[in-house]
Amino acid sequence: MTPSRVLTGMVSLITALALAGAAVAGDLGTLVVNLTTGGFGDRETAINALAASGEPRAAPILEALGAGRLYVRPADKAVVIGKAQGNQLDLTDALTGKPAGTASEDALQRVRINNRLRGVIDDAVGSLTLLSPDPRMRRSAADSLFKQRSPSALPAVEHALAAEKDAGIKRAFAEARASIILASNDASKAQKLEAISVIRGRGDRDAMGFLQAAASSSDADIKAAATAAAGSLNQTLAVWEAAQNVWYGISLGSVLLLAAIGLAITFGTMGVINMAHGEMVMLGAYTTFVVQQVILAYAPGLFDASIVIALPLAFLVAGVIGVLIERSVIRFLYGRPLDTLLATWGLSLVLQQAVRTIFGPTNREVRAPSWMSGSFLVGQIDVTYGRLWIVVFALLVFAVLILVLRKTPLGLHMRAVTQNRPMAAAMGIRTPRVDALTFGLGSGIAGLAGVALSQIDNVSPNLGQGYIIDSFMVVVFGGVGNLFGTLLGATALGIANKFLEPYAGAVLGKILVLVFIILFIQRRPRGMFALKGRAVE
Amino acid sequence: MKLGSLLRTGLVAAGLLAGAAAGAFAQDKEPIKVGILHSLSGTMAISETTLKDVMLMLIDEQNKKGGLLGRKLEAVVVDPASNWPLFAEKARELLQKDKVAAVFGCWTSVSRKSVLPVFEELNGLLFYPVQYEGEESSRNVFYTGAAPNQQAIPAVDYLMQNEGVKRWVLAGTDYVYPRTTNKILEAYLKMKGVKAEDIMINYTPFGHSDWQSIVAEIKKFGSAGKKTAVVSTINGDANVPFYKELANQGIKAKDIPVVAFSVGEEELAGIDTKPLVGHLAAWNYFESVKTPLNEQFIKEWKAFTKNPKRVTNDPMEAHMIGFNMWVQAVKKAGSTDPDKVIDAIIGVSVPNLTGGYATMMPNHHITKPVLIGEIQGDGQFDVVWQTPGEVVGDEWSDYLPDSKNLISDWRKPMNCGNFNVATGKCGGKGL
Amino acid sequence: MITRFLWQGVDRKLRWFIALVLAAGIVPVLLNLFTPPGSALHVPAWALQLVGKYLCYAALALAVDLVWGYCGILTLGHAAFFALGGYCMGMYLMRQIGSRGVYGNPILPDFMVFLNYKELPWFWRGFDHFWFAAPMIVIVPSVLALALGWFAFRSRVTGVYLSIITQAMTFALMLAFFRNDTGLGGNNGMTDFKDILGFPVQADGTRAALYLASALMLALFLLIAGAIVGSRFGKALTAVRDAESRMRFLGYRVEGYKLFVFVLSAAMAGIAGALYVPQVGIINPSEFAPGNSIEAVLWVAVGGRGTLIGPVIGAVLVNWAKTYLTGALPEVWLFALGGLFIAVTLFLPRGVVGLWAQLKAGRERSRRVAPA
């Protein structure tokens, strides 16, 4: 199957549509059965034939095929569309659209497609929906034609352009038209020059690609116009790229902040060199996994809320384990900070192996709820919802923590105990209880971080190990014992990393950041925000 | 105190178990020991633990069939803990202290390189089940995973022919397997007329978890108007965040397909694959292949692990093939003596799980079919293409200048792992 | 003259221990060479190799103890010096392979051949000679320690800040050595060594010699460390550990003391690493992993910080436990190891060697309590 044959298919169906859909005769039953037989090449022909048939059932059948929901029932060879309903599939007859009972997936044969067919189906569905009442479908049809650039689609696009009422989609059609004209051989020079300015107006990477291609035109005027447009677009894009790096840096910084903020309490304010901090993060991630499994098994409808439900639970699980650790091990080690390194290292080995024994050594699947998947454009920056929520979440956790420390009695006691233990005890503060709660708070926050990190990283027994060194770097770089230092430290390291990465590569970039930290500590031996006074010694 | 008593109880229990199992055989011959050298802790445990389990299952089944040469098989499991010097130490322990007849183990190239001198010195047998970069052939090692020509090159051919890919991103973790594979692929692509500016090569550190910039860069590279594909040699751990980022940034398989060589069913079990439908992987086995042997294997595996959700993957099949080949060779030789097994195993042919046969070639690599699979929403792969027959593993790549003249043949009289056909001498350049 | 000075510098307990280490070095070697294999007294070469590895770890632990136990500098990056020494040795051993590599290239190691290197990178020059590699084993780690220490001690970076920058250093080195473009073999590192000083590394005699060298090295390090610790200089070091500011006010140049010990300790770690590599047969960037440095600190803590015997016992004990447990209890050994670390911290704050003193103190206390 060559691309030109696909094009021929496209041409015929688009022209057919443009001429107000004169139906091509064809028995729907045969067309649909053809979809399910033969090799991938045969299926491609069948898809195009079905799309060109003008049958009203064509669009839903093709959509089902594209989504992998078209099945053959071996019993009666019926072609059916399945919709998941619990463990069973609700079936509808593909030809008639009427209900056709239920069946388990194992009992049916899925009609298989590959990537190439997925593209063909999308284009076919796209052109079937060029005049669809649904604006989103028209929009995606326009985008697909913009990239397709097949000259034969021009009449259909112009027809749709004239009929379009929505300004945004109208522009999309105009851009699609411009892109086709720029690529075609028949268009006049004036048309092409106008097309260049329309495409320049689109201002994204795709436009850049087309302009660069046009810049190698043989016509001097077109060449000059395209080169100029590409040049100016390039400058705009460079600015956007820098902005994008800042965003990526903030996003990486928020991850570092989340990972480090719990440590800023257990290590920063309590002085425990807490090597088991990463494992607390891991416990939070595994809690999220368990919550999702329970929800999927008993209340699938609540799935989108799973992350929110997991948050308090992760805080509790990690926090309670933190309190237990403090009561059983750490409390014997105050005044011997270096010994805490030894004990918590041992703890981290035990916790890792425990999780490996309980959940197995392999990665566990934590899914993204729908409100955390996908992305949107801000100018030319692709902002993914998942990352955006993590930034928001990190700041929220930070703000709440500051409030707890500054405005609650518990926070007051914590600060008192960490600043001067004997004095606090003399004032009647129950220091052992405060110690346990402080360690529990730090661990619980690490658990919260685990919920967020489960969205972007492996949920495996090794999860914590990947963050422990970075976390220590952030806390120390920011200044031990200063939460704002941790915030600024995380952001600065995140942004520095993301600006170095494109130039130096990911590996060298990271090395440079580490060297920078070493040099920075020489300049400011107590981090960005040094504690002052006697507590230092 | 407590630890001691715990240890003692464990030892007693182990002794009882071993005693009970030995009783069932009622033969007073010593069991044949089989070493299992896979990391059960540390960074590689994530991949290797499964292989330990599959070996235990295979040995268990062989014992149910009556053992080997009238003797029972006994697994000796050790944990090299993802620590490369420890791999060498444990290999020595298995061969010298436990006197195992064969070892099944290793995953990373560095672990294989670390144990290689030990196996050559002590004349042991190692079955290595993972796809690797090639450029090696040892008398004492049997490579049951894919060489680059059994995975990478067919995958690139598929994308070129079936999806019309013109522009290539070669993304990998910065270690020897991706480096070598990408060198080979680059040479191959250029031979096929791809221009240098249409190839982007990118390396990332181990366990890289922040893929935002690189995915954005791939997107940018892919917007030049030519069909673009990513060939990923990204190592295990870094894959999950990579795929999560791909899904989030909305890179669809029909726009920029990603073909991976180290992502199998096991790795996908940790990701929601719905946004990834259509991305590809090239392997020599997929769990979804429908053959009676495979269905039986999957059933046994789920029963053995008592977990209906456990998946099977390519290195597991490689271990199954390697184990069956070793059993055949021992039967043929009538002994577990390494020299006899090394002579007997060449030419041994056992069924693979995809409906064909795997044969041990004189270069200690095996024949394998190459399958291209597309990721499905349920974490499985749909086979969309496969080689018409089995492909022979090519240990010395034809696309690297220094290895194209080398061949390996461990049959007598050549008995050489790096024979130079140009100079007609054994030993690389034959200097 | 110098030996006498060293010998007189150390106390009696340590003298006995050094004699013990020497005996542990010589006796098994004799048993290996002069008893027939199969006799009850025969010590196989692989056992020598294994214990030789422990001895190298013990030397590393001793180096860590010298800076941590006696000078209060908690280093979380000492494995970097160990690995650098190892890499220098590895480069020498790689060059000794000559044309016996799989590609038969007389100049370039195998990993350079298939990555299309055309010539040897500049920093490989000279490593084909032992007389060049041997001083490098000491110089490379020392220079790094000098550079880091010079800046850090002068800027008065102390406590956890120093710990974290040493960790950052080893982490950065690990990433750098992982890069294939660095030209040191990337993740695979260097393996498959053939000869050392003209002797095949896999021969039993060479193994025995390497083992003996490790034992001698450890004895020598104990001697040097003992002499330093027992001297006036050593007293000043301990004082720096216990009250740095006070020492400064008394007019001591604290950074000089620290720098000297730090560099000496790095050189010791480098030598230990160099002897480690031919015995384990591989050097790879994971030796730089921050976890390795932390483990070295743990050996010291388990054995007994601030003593010279403790780190040696701790390193041998923990590594022997690792060898034994990974074979005997492969599925649960991490519980045992982790539990050991926790138990030692809680119940043996002065480590294994402190156990004796602890028991004695306990007995005296109970004796005192009993009559009352």
Pairing of strands B228-233, B167-173: parallel
pLDDT tens across the length of chain A (537 residues): 444 444 444 444 444 444 433 333 357 888 888 888 878 888 888 888 888 877 778 888 888 888 888 898 888 888 889 888 777 888 888 888 888 888 888 788 888 888 888 888 877 777 777 777 788 878 888 887 787 777 777 888 888 888 888 888 888 889 888 888 888 878 888 888 888 888 888 888 888 888 888 887 788 888 888 899 989 998 998 999 899 999 999 999 999 999 999 999 988 888 888 999 999 999 999 999 999 999 999 988 889 999 999 999 999 999 999 999 999 999 998 877 778 888 999 999 999 999 999 998 888 989 889 898 888 888 888 899 999 999 999 999 999 999 999 999 999 998 888 888 888 899 999 989 999 999 999 999 999 999 999 998 889 998 998 899 999 999 999 988 889 999 999 999 999 999 998 888 888 889 999 999 999 998 888 888 876 544 444
Q: Which amino acid is at A414?
A: M
Residues A379 and A307 in one domain: yes
Task: Indicate the pTM of the whole model.
Answer: 0.89
Query: Between residues 103 and 162 of chain C, which touch chain B (CB distance below 8 Å)?
Result: 103-106, 110-111, 113-116
What pLDDT is attached to residue C366? 65
The answer to whether B305 touches B266, Cβ cutoff 8 Å, is: no
Q: Given CB atoms, is B402 within the 8 Å cutoff of chain C?
A: yes
> Which pLDDT band holds residue B392 (cuts at 50, 70, 90)?
very high
Is residue C336 over pLDDT 50?
yes
Smallest CA–CA distance, residue A132 to chain B, in Å, is 23
Residue A470 lies in a domain: no
- Among C67, C16, C60, which Cα is nearest to C229's? C67
Our measurement of the distance from residue C63's CA atom to the centroid of its chain's CA atoms, rounded to an integer in Å, reads 6
Under 8 Å CB-to-CB from A441, ≥6 apart: which residues? A265, A319, A322, A404, A414
> Which pLDDT band holds residue C212 (cuts at 50, 70, 90)?
very high
Is residue B150 over pLDDT 90?
yes
Residues A94 and A55 in one domain: yes
Residue A389 lies in a domain: yes
Put simply, the answer to whether A498 touches B237 (Cβ < 8 Å) is no
The shortest CB-CB distance from C294 to any of A345, A350, A517 is to A345
Residues A32 and A109 in one domain: yes
Residues A111 and A154 in one domain: no
Q: Given CB atoms, is A339 within the 8 Å cutoff of chain C?
A: yes
Higher pLDDT pick, A42 / B64: B64
Contacts of C46 in chain B (CB under 8 A): 92, 96
Put simply, the answer to whether C330 touches B40 (Cβ < 8 Å) is yes
Rounded to whole angstroms, the Cα distance separating B199 from B201 reads 7
3-class state of residue C8 by DSSP: helix
C-alpha torsion angle, residues C275, C281, C287, C293 (rounded to 10): -40
Put simply, the answer to whether A384 touches B248 (Cβ < 8 Å) is yes
- Among A192, A266, A311, which Cα is nearest to A480's? A266
- Residue of chain A whose alpha carbon sits nearest to that of C340: A346
Rounded to whole angstroms, the Cα distance separating B155 from C304 reads 57
What pLDDT is attached to residue A169? 87
The shortest CB-CB distance from A118 to any of B216, B245, B253 is to B253
What is the number of structural domains in chain A?
A: 3
What pLDDT is attached to residue C2? 66
The answer to whether A459 touches A400, Cβ cutoff 8 Å, is: no
Give the range of the structural domain holding residue A59, as residue numbers without chain letter.
Answer: 3-131
Residue A310 lies in a domain: yes
Higher pLDDT pick, A87 / B291: B291
Burial category of B23 from C-beta neighbours within 10 Å (exposed 0-12, middle 13-18, buried 19 and up)? exposed
Rounded to whole angstroms, the Cα distance separating A477 from C274 reads 34
Out of A131, A154, A183, a domain closes at A131
For the segment C236-287, what is each residue's pLDDT rounded down to a tens digit?
A: 999 999 998 899 999 999 999 999 999 999 999 999 999 999 999 999 999 9
Put simply, the answer to whether C168 touches A338 (Cβ < 8 Å) is no
Put simply, the answer to whether A523 touches C167 (Cβ < 8 Å) is no
Smallest CA–CA distance, residue A484 to chain C, in Å, is 18
- Residue of chain A whose alpha carbon sits nearest to that of C167: A469
Residues A178 and A269 in one domain: no
Peptide bond before residue B413 is cis, with ω within 30 degrees of 0: yes
Under 8 Å CB-to-CB from C204, ≥6 apart: which residues? C32, C45
Residues A118 and A155 in one domain: no
Put simply, the answer to whether B109 touches C187 (Cβ < 8 Å) is yes
Longest dimension (CA), chain C: 84
- Residue of chain C whose alpha carbon sits nearest to that of B3: C336
Q: Given CB atoms, is A514 within the 8 Å cutoff of chain C?
A: yes
For the segment B169-196, what is each residue's pLDDT rounded down to a tens digit?
A: 999 998 888 988 999 999 999 999 999 9
Residues A175 and A268 in one domain: no
The answer to whether A522 touches C157, Cβ cutoff 8 Å, is: yes
The answer to whether B360 touches B142, Cβ cutoff 8 Å, is: yes
Contacts of B278 in chain A (CB under 8 A): 114-115, 118
CA distances from C222 to A215, C55, C227, C312 (A): 74, 12, 8, 9
The answer to whether B363 touches B137, Cβ cutoff 8 Å, is: yes
CA distances from A465 to A282, A300, A461, B424 (A): 9, 32, 9, 51
Smallest CA–CA distance, residue C228 to chain B, in Å, is 33
Out of A414, A449, A465, a domain closes at A465
The neighbour count for residue A152, using CB atoms within 10 Å, is 15
Put simply, the answer to whether B428 touches C99 (Cβ < 8 Å) is yes
Residues A352 and A272 in one domain: yes
Put simply, the answer to whether B114 touches C191 (Cβ < 8 Å) is yes
Chains that touch B (3 or more CB pairs under 8 A): A, C
Smallest CA–CA distance, residue B55 to chain C, in Å, is 15
What pLDDT is attached to residue A109? 85
Rounded to whole angstroms, the Cα distance separating C155 from B45 reads 42
Residue A498 lies in a domain: no
Smallest CA–CA distance, residue C161 to chain A, in Å, is 6
Rounded to whole angstroms, the Cα distance separating B23 from B13 reads 15
Contacts of B206 in chain A (CB under 8 A): none
Q: Given CB atoms, is B305 within the 8 Å cutoff of chain A?
A: no
Our measurement of the distance from residue A331's CA atom to the centroid of its chain's CA atoms, rounded to an integer in Å, reads 41
Smallest CA–CA distance, residue C138 to chain A, in Å, is 23
Under 8 Å CB-to-CB from C314, ≥6 apart: which residues? C61, C298, C299, C300, C301, C302, C303, C304, C351, C352
Q: Given CB atoms, is C335 within the 8 Å cutoff of chain B?
A: no
Under 8 Å CB-to-CB from A510, ≥6 apart: which residues? A497, B205, C172, C175
- Give, as one character, the DSSP assignment of residue A1: -
Interface with C, mutate which of B8, B96, B174, B182 (most C CBs under 10 A): B174
The answer to whether C140 touches C84, Cβ cutoff 8 Å, is: yes
Put simply, the answer to whether B241 touches A457 (Cβ < 8 Å) is yes
Query: Between residues 261 and 290 of chain A, which touch chain C (CB distance below 8 Å)?
Result: 267, 273, 275
- Residue of chain B whose alpha carbon sits nearest to that of C337: B3
Q: Which amino acid is at C73?
A: I
Residues A299 and A418 in one domain: yes
Residue A476 lies in a domain: no
- Residue of chain A whose alpha carbon sits nearest to that of C150: A522
Contacts of C152 in chain A (CB under 8 A): 521-522
What pLDDT is attached to residue C367? 63
Out of A218, A250, A266, a domain closes at A218
Residues A124 and A142 in one domain: no
| Mean pLDDT, rounded, of chain B | 89
Residue A322 lies in a domain: yes
Residues A158 and A121 in one domain: no
What pLDDT is attached to residue C3? 67
Residue A272 lies in a domain: yes
Interface with C, mutate which of A348, A475, A514, A529 (most C CBs under 10 A): A514
Contacts of B78 in chain C (CB under 8 A): 326-327, 330
Residues A29 and A101 in one domain: yes
> Which pLDDT band holds residue B28 (cuts at 50, 70, 90)?
low
ipTM of the complex: 0.91
- Give, as one character, the DSSP assignment of residue B94: I
Rounded to whole angstroms, the Cα distance separating C253 from C272 reads 29
Put simply, the answer to whether B224 touches A212 (Cβ < 8 Å) is yes
**Helix-, strand-, coil-residue percentages of chain B, each rounded to 5:** 40, 20, 40
Contacts of C334 in chain A (CB under 8 A): 349-350, 352-353
Higher pLDDT pick, B362 / A87: B362
Put simply, the answer to whether C116 touches B401 (Cβ < 8 Å) is yes
- Output the CA torsion sign for A500, A504, A506, A507: negative
Smallest CA–CA distance, residue C21 to chain B, in Å, is 23
- Give, as one character, the DSSP assignment of residue A267: I
The answer to whether C210 touches C197, Cβ cutoff 8 Å, is: no
